[in-house]
Amino acid sequence: MTRAKLPILVAAIALAACGGNSTGEVQYSIARAPTSGNDQIGVSSTTLANPLNVKVFDANGQPAAGVLVGWAVTHGSITDTSRTDAGGIASATWILGDAPAARADTAYATVPGGGTSTAIFYAYTFSAGTYVVKVTNNAFAPSNLAVLAGSRVAWIWLSDAVGHNVEPVGGSGPPSSSGPPRDGPFVFQASFPDAGTFNYQCATHGASGMTGRVVVSAGPPPAPGDPAR
């Protein structure tokens, strides 16, 4: 398994950008496959539920079989290399790294020495006991969340989320704002030490219904994790 081999990957990408290598190898292009495994959410130090899948094409735009694909990640570990099948698909398994706070991580796939592009994947890592709210276009999921006092909540902007934020409403809401509206991938985390009802919205889309609520009580909490999955 590869653990954050980004310098090697960057060197391979730079070589490809210069027109490949001196041996005259066939040049390939690579992209996330239709069922790619992008935008997965998981507990730190666990294996993502679905593999990452890429599709490799030859110079004629046709699926390329038997091509070696290299993988690297910013955190955690991933399959070193894998070869494409008859349909041009190669897969890798990603084990998330340790994450004391919720975090957006990145994985990269390329064709070492013969690729002209890089496929990029995002995953979102949170520690056990953290509750997760997905930030999508244009909703929070779930929009109503019940937690126990002292819990942590992580808002996760998926990679296609554009121009959103988490902003307290009427003096309630999370303890702070996530900042100005921004695009995904992004993660904002807040703790809720006291019981109460905390309302929030997206500053840009709140008027059109992009609002949420966290109800904090001293009673038993629901099961932690990702309620939206």
Residues 150 and 98 both lie in one domain: no
Residue 120 structural domain: 6-126
Q: Shortest CA distance to 194 belongs to which of 180, 212, 179, 174?
A: 174
Residues 143 and 113 both lie in one domain: no
Mind listing the pLDDT tens digit of every residue in the chain (229 residues)? 655 544 334 333 333 333 344 445 678 999 999 999 999 999 999 999 999 999 999 999 999 999 999 999 999 999 999 999 999 999 999 999 999 889 999 999 999 766 678 999 999 999 999 999 999 998 999 999 999 999 999 999 999 999 999 999 987 677 789 999 999 999 999 999 989 999 999 999 999 999 999 999 986 555 666 554 4
Residues 32 and 78 both lie in one domain: yes
Domain ends where: 72, 100, 126?
126
CA dist 163 to 10, 15, 160, 211, Å? 29, 35, 10, 14
CB 111 within 8 A of CB 69: yes
Position 222 scores a pLDDT of 58
Residues 18 and 105 both lie in one domain: yes
Residues 177 and 200 both lie in one domain: yes
Position 66 scores a pLDDT of 96
Q: Are strands 130-136 and 151-157 parallel, antiparallel or unpaired?
A: parallel
Position 1 scores a pLDDT of 63
Q: Are strands 103-110 and 119-126 parallel, antiparallel or unpaired?
A: antiparallel
Residues 118 and 134 both lie in one domain: no
Q: How far apart are CA 220 and CA 229, in angstroms?
A: 21
Domain ends where: 71, 93, 126?
126
In a domain? residue 225: no
Residues 13 and 110 both lie in one domain: yes
Residues 15 and 105 both lie in one domain: yes
Q: Which residues pair with 205 in a beta bridge?
A: none
Size of the chain in residues: 229
CB 121 within 8 A of CB 150: no
Give the count of domains, the chain: 2
In a domain? residue 226: no
Residues 70 and 106 both lie in one domain: yes
Helix (H) or strand (E) holding 14: helix 6-17
CB 103 within 8 A of CB 196: no
Q: Residue 206 in 3-state DSSP?
A: helix
Residues 73 and 111 both lie in one domain: yes
* CATH code, 49: 2.60.40.10
Domain ends where: 77, 102, 126?
126
In a domain? residue 143: yes
Residues 20 and 107 both lie in one domain: yes
Q: How far apart are CA 90 and CA 30, in angstroms?
A: 10
Q: Are strands 144-148 and 186-192 parallel, antiparallel or unpaired?
A: unpaired
Residues 54 and 121 both lie in one domain: yes
